[in-house]
Chain A
Amino acid sequence: MIFDQLEKFGDTTALIEESGKAWSFNQLVAEADNIASLMEKRSLAFLLCRNCVSAVTAYVGALRHGMVPLLLNGEIQDELLEHLLKAYHPKYLWMEVGRKASIGKVLYSDGNYQLWDTGEEKYPINDDLAVLLSTSGSTGSPKLVRQSYKNIMANTLSIAKYLSLTSDDRAITTMPMYYTYGLSIIQTQLFAGGSIVLTEASMFARVFWELLKKYEVTNFGGVPYTYEMLKRMRFGRMDLPSLRFITQAGGKLAADISAEFAKVCDDKGIKFITMYGACEATARMAYLPWEYAQDKAGSIGIAIPEGRLALMDDRGAEITASDIDGELIYYGDNVTLGYTECQDDLSKGDENHGVLHTGDIARRDGDGFYYITGRKKRFLKLFGNRVSLDAVEAYLKSQGYLSCACAGADDKLVVYTTEDINTKELCLRLGEFTHLHSSAFAVVKVEEIPRNSSGKILYESLKGLGM
């Protein structure tokens, strides 16, 4: 297990809070073991995560001692939490003081967080299962990804290798811990004996940059939207001497912005590393070595160490020629066990056997670098969050918007409708449904939703309409 040997880093710093309070690895391990000692092995625990020490210690404790955590947004609405509680009946809840569970009793409090015993019975959980994560951000869907101990170990080793992480590295949180990319940064840093500054401050807040400078942070990650923010803030003019590298994942950054950052970073001596991944692959599948950041801007790069990428045509045959589109397939030990929708699924073993059909369409250039060119599945990335277009359509129907079809591009989901509807209200409701800013949505009125003879919506034809 990746956290089994954290003790070896002893008194070096593991976590730094916004207040400046530092936690050594010894302190982190002691508190992690303490929380875990109150829980039964192979039981399910919901961790409501903020970017704080309490959430990290409970996560480390659970992984060291065999409890299976489901990482959730610390600000999840009661109704959505209730929904998940009904689907999974966890034995434990770890959440902020002040938040009340509907059943059970408090076993322990660290001052900020409380451990609740729900009184639920333990039930069979597969021995390989380590962690449950949501793919859909915070819509409260019970569909989760099952990650194994082997998955986490394999991915952590690969990432630590290609980023050359050492105990001198220090990250700062730029995304939530329950998001696979955010979690990956936390666990790879700890594994390497490095440290993490824990904050929820926005990059638009002065405190973020003060923390970064004061604690001499060496790296952070960002989704495409983060880089648009950095561009607006004129990252190129900032003086950040401690930064060694920055990573970008969670969606495709426009090639011109990517090239611009590659150049700016090169001038500053910062390595700019574009990556590609998915919750279904634990976190990472590909990375663009920084030396190629300018020449191959817009590329997701090559497979991570120990992984393999391939392209498959419509008939399921591997494409060996370059510059031809096909579905991107990934092979590696970090391909997760599969999905789960309810507690019975937690006894299941590996259903993917190391092969992930990503649903992304890609091509490979003559030098072996991969480029994402499209998507087979119906989802968009909105500010780094994966949003299913079909789920949004189903939601709209449930809310009485009967004649709607959803399409669009990353960071802009467009609802096409034949009805006269209040655009602002609809965008706000979609914002609430997805927990994203309402500006991610737009409404376009059309004469008719184009369909083929069997009534299937022609999404490709929709995109040109009414704009």
Chain B
Amino acid sequence: MTNMEKYKEAFKEALEIDDSALTDELAFDSIPEWDSVGHMRLMASIEDAFDIMFETEDIMDFGTFGKGKEILQKYDVEL
């Protein structure tokens, strides 16, 4: 699996959503699945997928599907 596939898979699994929902604009609190509970699962799922641990700041900044890709670069994950 490529990193991009892993990234998408983490979203689909944590938020229980389909591929079609995954656009760069998909944002925290914009769909019922991505509320605080969903965010918690999503962070865990991405940390597991790439074996990283997010900084507090990044958990707060991780506001969209697109922004998340930028954040992952800081952890040397190339998408």
The chain A residues found within 8 Å of chain B, CB to CB, are 202-206, 209, 225, 228-229, 232-234, 237-238, 383, 424, 427-428, 431, 436-440
| 29 CB < 8 A contacts A-B | A202-B28, A202-B35, A202-B39, A204-B28, A204-B39, A204-B40, A204-B59, A205-B60, A206-B60, A206-B61, A228-B40, A229-B36, A232-B40, A232-B43, A232-B44, A232-B59, A233-B56, A233-B59, A233-B60, A234-B56, A237-B56, A427-B16, A431-B32, A437-B33, A437-B37, A437-B38, A438-B33, A439-B41, A440-B37
Q: Is the CB of A202 within 8 A of B36?
A: yes
Q: Is the CB of A203 within 8 A of B33?
A: no
Question: Contacts of A427 on B, CB cut-off 8 Å?
Answer: 16
15 further contact pairs, Cβ within 8 A, besides A205-B60, A439-B38:
A202-B28, A202-B39, A204-B28, A204-B39, A205-B28, A206-B61, A209-B60, A225-B37, A232-B43, A234-B55, A234-B56, A238-B56, A437-B38, A439-B16, A439-B41
* Chain B window 46-74, contacts with chain A (Cβ cutoff 8 Å), 1 for yes, 0 for no: 00000000011001110000000000000
Q: Please tell me if B25 contacts chain A, counting CB pairs below 8 Å.
A: no
Question: Taking CB as reference atom, which chain A residue is nearest B35?
Answer: A437
Task: State the majority secondary structure of interface residues on B.
Answer: helix
Question: Distance (Å) between the CB of B69 and the closest chain A CB?
Answer: 18
A233 CA / B40 CA spacing, docked (Å) = 9
Question: Taking CB as reference atom, which chain A residue is nearest B37?
Answer: A437
Question: Distance (Å) between the CB of A173 and the closest chain B CB?
Answer: 14
Question: Taking CB as reference atom, which chain B residue is nearest A231?
Answer: B40
Q: Given A233-B56, A439-B38, are A202 and B29 also a contact pair (CB < 8 Å)?
A: yes
Question: Taking CB as reference atom, which chain A residue is nearest B38?
Answer: A437
Question: Distance (Å) between the CB of B17 and the closest chain A CB?
Answer: 10
Question: Taking CB as reference atom, which chain B residue is nearest A203?
Answer: B36
Q: Is the CB of A204 within 8 A of B56?
A: no
